[in-house]
């Protein structure tokens, strides 16, 4: 894939573990690629198969319609759709004739390097990534988004030799500010992020520590509230209990890891903090209705139909 490289994996691996590499060899962690040309080319990877990406990706669809899967959920997209997939998520394209657009990819390291000393840029990036997986733009926002992509595409494709890094960095910052400033992006991010600051802190802690076998009480102690208070406020904000939110995040990571066929199920269990594989199997079956092995076999049979 242009600008990307895949890691070695067995022939029957149902997922591609995809990392970023510019084809021109420049040490820049950002690139713009034409979507239509990309999908029409003969590539070393099957884009319709699930891919766990190691970079952030934003697509602006200009023409055509298709279904794009992000973390096992299908999303219908068409002209004016902004598709946001964060590093670590699993995606799959549904190749469609006439699909046109532009795709921006940038690595977490590049984003961190650029936003490390700029709180506003970090906030803009957080808002763009929080708005995904699909934001539908009106005509005015489409034009503004298209200009943002075009400016970054020119800067990253033809960087000046001496000033490549600062020039592309400035264009990248402008790109994120422009996208974050779109009304639809801001609204989508606000809908997906908890308004309750306690719940926001809890969600952030879960994201950091869901791999540990921690009870709700441990989170409540760290947040200096009672279990009852935490549960009540999480339920009000997310319509799920605190324990349910933790379990859902662990389950999502389990499904992501199980798509890597070379990873033994015991290793998946270990990665999620289960002391015994059978405990993990019981947890997974209770949430998904199938065993981890059956889930993995289903991916091998139908790599682009992985459920919702």
So where are the chain's domains? 4-192, 197-300
Pairing of strands 56-63, 51-53: unpaired
293: confidence class by pLDDT, cuts 50, 70, 90 = very high
The rounded mean pLDDT for the chain is 86
Angle between helices 227-238 and 216-223 (to 10 degrees): 100
pTM over 0.95: no
State yes or no: pLDDT of 215 exceeds 70. yes
Q: Regarding the domain with residue range 197-300, which homologous superfamily does it belong to in the CATH classification?
A: Homeodomain-like (1.10.10.60)
Give the pLDDT confidence of 113-148 residue by residue, as tens digits: 888 768 899 999 999 999 999 999 999 999 999 999
Neighbours of 120 (CB within 10 A): 12
State yes or no: pLDDT of 201 exceeds 80. yes
Are 87 and 108 in contact, with CB atoms under 8 Å apart?
yes
Mean pLDDT of the region 216-225:
96
User: What does the DSSP assignment read for 115-170?
Assistant: HTT-HHHHHHHHHHHHT-SEEE--HHHHHHHHHHHHHHHHHHHS--TTTHHHHHHH
Query: Among the ranges 28-32, 278-282, 298-302, which has the highest mean pLDDT value?
Result: 278-282
Domain with residues 4-192, CATH architecture: Sandwich (2.60)
Q: Contacts from 243-251 at CB under 8 Å and sequence distance 24+?
A: 243/216, 245/202, 245/203, 245/206, 246/206, 246/210, 246/214, 246/216, 246/219, 247/283, 247/287, 249/206, 249/207, 249/210, 250/210, 250/211, 250/283, 251/283, 251/284, 251/287, 251/288
Which pLDDT value is given to residue 42? 66
State yes or no: pLDDT of 304 exceeds 60. no
User: What does the DSSP assignment read for 165-203?
Assistant: HHHHHHHHHHHHHHHHTSHHHHHHHHHHS-SSHHHHHHH
State yes or no: pLDDT of 306 exceeds 70. no
């Amino acid at each position: 894939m242009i600008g990307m490289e895949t890691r070695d994996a067995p022939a029957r691996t149902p997922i591609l573990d995809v990392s970023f590499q510019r084809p021109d060899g420049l040490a820049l962690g950002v690139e713009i690629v034409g979507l239509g040309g990309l999908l029409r080319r003969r590539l070393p990877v099957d884009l319709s198969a699930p891919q766990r990406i190691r970079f952030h990706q934003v697509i602006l669809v200009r023409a055509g319609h298709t279904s794009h899967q992000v973390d096992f959920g299908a999303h219908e997209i068409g002209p004016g759709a902004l598709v946001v997939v964060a590093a670590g998520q699993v995606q799959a394209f549904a190749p469609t004739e006439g699909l046109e657009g532009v795709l921006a990819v940038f690595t977490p390291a590049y984003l961190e390097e650029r936003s490390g000393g700029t709180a506003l840029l970090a906030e803009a990036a957080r808002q763009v990534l929080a708005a995904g997986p699909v934001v539908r733009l009106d005509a005015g926002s489409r034009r503004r988004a298209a200009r943002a992509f075009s400016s970054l595409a020119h800067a990253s494709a033809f960087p000046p030799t001496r000033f490549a890094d600062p020039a592309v960095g400035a264009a990248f910052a402008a790109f994120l500010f422009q996208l974050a400033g779109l009304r639809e992006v801001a609204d989508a991010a606000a809908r997906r992020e908890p308004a309750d600051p306690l719940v926001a802190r809890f969600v952030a802690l879960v994201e950091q520590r869901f791999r540990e076998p921690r009870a709700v009480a441990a989170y409540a102690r760290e947040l200096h509230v009672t279990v009852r208070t935490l549960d009540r406020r999480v339920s009000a904000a997310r319509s799920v209990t605190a324990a349910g939110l933790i379990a859902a995040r662990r389950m999502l990571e389990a499904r992501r890891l199980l798509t890597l066929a070379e990873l033994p199920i015991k290793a998946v269990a270990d990665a999620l903090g289960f002391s015994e594989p059978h405990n993990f199997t019981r947890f997974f079956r209770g949430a998904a209705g199938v065993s981890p092995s059956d889930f993995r076999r289903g991916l091998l049979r139908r790599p682009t139909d992985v459920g919702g």
